[in-house]
Amino acid sequence: MNFDETLRQVLDEHANVVGTVPEVPLADRRAIYRAMLRSRAMDTRMLSLQRQGRIGFFGLTTGQEASVVGTAYPMLPTDWVFPALRETGVSMWRGTTVRQVICQLMGNTGDVLIGRQMPMHFSDRAVNSVAWSSVIGTQLVHAMGAAWAAKLMKTSDVMIGYIGDGGTSSSDFHAAMNFAAVKQVPVVFVCQNNQWAISVPLAAQTVSSSIAIKAAAYGMPGIRVDGNDVLAVIAAMREALDRARSGGGPTFVECVTFRMGGHSSSDDPTRYRDPELVKAWEQRDPLPRFANWLEAQGELTAEDTEKWTVELNDEISAAINDAEALPAPGIETIFTDVYAKMPAHLEEQMKYAQAIGLGTKFEGAFPL
């Protein structure tokens, strides 16, 4: 299979057009930029909450907004997402609210996961986003399996599995890639290559000339795209989704980007990363790059950015106030959504648990 490692771009670092601009309606271009602004605002505010002890953990997307929103935009609502740490913005593009994300971070009654997942491990059946774990690479195997099921069921659904550059060293990455290619399933694997697997730089992760070239070993197309150029990401992702949906099998997309902050709110990147490297990547920031191009087209003004930033922060503030007023999930939620019809033994256990929680005597048959 021929393989081209050229880094695909539509906008260069100075917002000059150097490639073919994909077809995206004006209203959508503005919405894409606003979604990227929202992600940046969420990072700032949630990191502040974590430092104040109001949430326990948060994984930042700062610097990677174009890869997140750009890969989400071409998806259909019926497609399924198998995320990793930095893809909450994909769910938000598909309909998840700011309030729902904050409630998940707090694990309260407003949390669609009823407090059962770690903070920042968001998933929601309403937007076809599947639960993930911190185990590296497992979501790619899940995406591949779901894609095989879609092929067997002859649906038009495509599965999208996300992974980081460090995850490409995991055994599950190789298993998923090989099986997906052999079975020619409708899946798109997206690697957000942000240069760092926590404190391990890309150079210590692999000696391959790129991450995308790994696709060649499995006999599938690989696309290497500038992950800070949202228009290029949209074009690459649209190509991969169209291939999968038309029966052309899997594609591996590498979004070359950079994590500007820490791996998470528990990480201090200054201990292992040269600040000059961060400054260099700040010149490639995906937000001003896209904003500058939109402004040059007469489709955005600096006043729009200021207005939206205020609106988004107000929305986040209101969501924080709502979320902090909500109680923890009731103990009955451990039992009530396990079966369509609750078995007698679980009903007995639920009554016992509720009685203990209320400090009352339980007269049932459950042994003390």
Q: Tokens 């309909």 sit at which residue?
A: 95
Nearest to 33 by CA among 224, 353, 288, 257: 288
Closest CA to 260 of 224, 237, 288: 288
d(CA 64, CA 228): 7
- The active-site residue out of 8, 121, 224, 263 is 263
Q: What are the residue ranges of helices labelled H in 137-261?
A: 138-152, 171-183, 230-245
Say what the alpha-carbon torsion angle 289, 293, 294, 296 is, to the nearest 10 degrees.
140
CB atoms within 10 A of CB 193: 27
Catalytic site residue from 51, 116, 272, 345: 272
Take residue 82 and report the two structure tokens written for it.
């198998």
Active-site annotation holds for 174: no
Q: Which of 180, 163, 188, 179 is nearest to 241 (CA)?
A: 188
Q: Please report where in the chains the tokens 């997307």 appear, as a residue.
A: 61
The region, left, alpha or beta by phi > 0 then psi within -120 to 50, assigned to residue 249 is left
| Termini Cα distance of the chain | 66
Going from the first residue of the chain to its last (368 residues), give the mean pLDDT of each consecutive group of 10, the final group possibly shorter: 80 97 98 98 97 95 98 98 96 98 97 92 95 91 98 98 96 97 98 95 94 97 98 98 98 97 92 94 97 98 98 98 96 89 94 80 55
Does the annotation mark 352 as catalytic?
no
- State the catalytic residue, choosing from 238, 243, 259, 289: 259
Q: Which of 108, 101, 37, 53 is nearest to 265 (CA)?
A: 53
User: Is 169 buried (19+), middle (13-18) or exposed (0-12) by CB count in 10 A?
Assistant: middle
Q: Which domains does the chain have, with CATH numbers?
A: 26-324 (3.40.50.970), 330-368 (no CATH)
Query: What's phi and psi for 193, nearest 5 deg?
Result: -80, 90
272 is catalytic: yes
Per-residue three-class SS string for 45-89: HHHHHHHCCCCCCCCCCCCCHHHHHHHHCCCCCCCEEECCCCCHH
